[in-house]
Structure 1
Amino acid sequence: MFAVLVFIALFVKDQFVRPIGGDVLVVIWLYYLLSSVIDMPSKQLTFTVLGIAYLVELGQFLNVNAFLGIEPSSSLHLILGATFDWIDLVAYTVGAIICYWVERE
């Protein structure tokens, strides 16, 4: 799934898959990555992952990359993103809902 996310970030230049589908998938990927190393109830983990995603978006809003001097060509810049968009928050929420629905206890 990580390879798919990297492919989307680097090579897909459309108006749906990259900006929305990629954000939904990144939340799902992060949920399962963390669930493989952290023993936490699914509801709590879902909210934790959603909080992380929201914090990344807040960092984009506050332009943290520029503040920290992160080069636009760096991998960290790609991971953190650079452009705040309210739609991203909706996409993250959809990804979290999918995780919760699939893993509900």
Structure 2
Amino acid sequence: MQRPWVRCLLLSAAWFAVLVAIVLWGRGWIRASFGDLAVVPWVIHSVGIVPVLAPRIVPRVVFGLGLACTLEGLQLLGNVGPDDPLWMHLIFGSTFDPMDLVHYVVGALVAFGLEHRLVRPTVHRP
């Protein structure tokens, strides 16, 4: 595939489908663990859709967005109660769990592994 943003668009759509399936059919630890794991590759490939970003810039942009969302989420975390709608729990979470950080790292490794696997350097022979 010549255009990396097309690959990112396809991967982003696939990860979004995985996230929707997790929300609809995942229960308990499956929703918590795999939702956290799948959201990172989805964000990385969604940012990669923007064709003007160099591939080395995308992880930095995702990190910055993640940091900004985390800081904002920490402010709103106390406002999410048991009676709030499901979408608020999915976006902001109900509690902090240290395993969330592990899932985010694993998700990032999955995304980078996919990129490494799908983007093979071409060898130019004279």
TM-score range, shorter-chain basis? 0.5 to 0.7
Which structure has more relative contact order (CA 8 Å, sep 6+)? It is: 1
Please list, as runs of the form range in 1=range in 2, the aligned pairs for 1:92-103 lying within 5 A after superposition.
92-103=104-115
What's the CA shift for 1:98? 2.2
TM-score by length of 1: 0.67
CA gap of 1:43–1:88, structure 2 versus 1, over 3 A, is farther
Residue 72 (structure 1) aligned to one of 62, 84, 96: 84
The count of aligned residue pairs is 102
TM-score, length of structure 2 as denominator length: 0.59
Q: CA-to-partner distance for each residue in 1:38-86, whole Å, 9 max, x for gaps? A: 53233431243244345545555x35144499x7216344323222111
- Gapped runs of 5+ residues in structure 2? 1-14, 120-126
Cα distance in structure 2, aligned partners of 1:75 and 1:20:
17
Shift of 1:27: 0.7
1:26 counterpart residue number: 39
- 8 Å contact from structure 1 (residues 5, 22) kept in 2: yes
1:85 aligned residue: 97
- Quick one: percent identity of the two aligned structures? 33
Residues 50-59 or 4-13, more deviating: 50-59
Partner in structure 1 of residue 58 of structure 2: 45
**1:36 equivalent in structure 2:** 49
Note if contact 1:8-1:22 (Cα within 8 Å) is conserved in structure 2: yes
Q: Which residue of 1 aligns with 2:5?
A: none
Based on CA coordinates, which of the two structures has the bigger radius of gyration? 2
Query: What residue number does 1:7 align with?
Result: 21
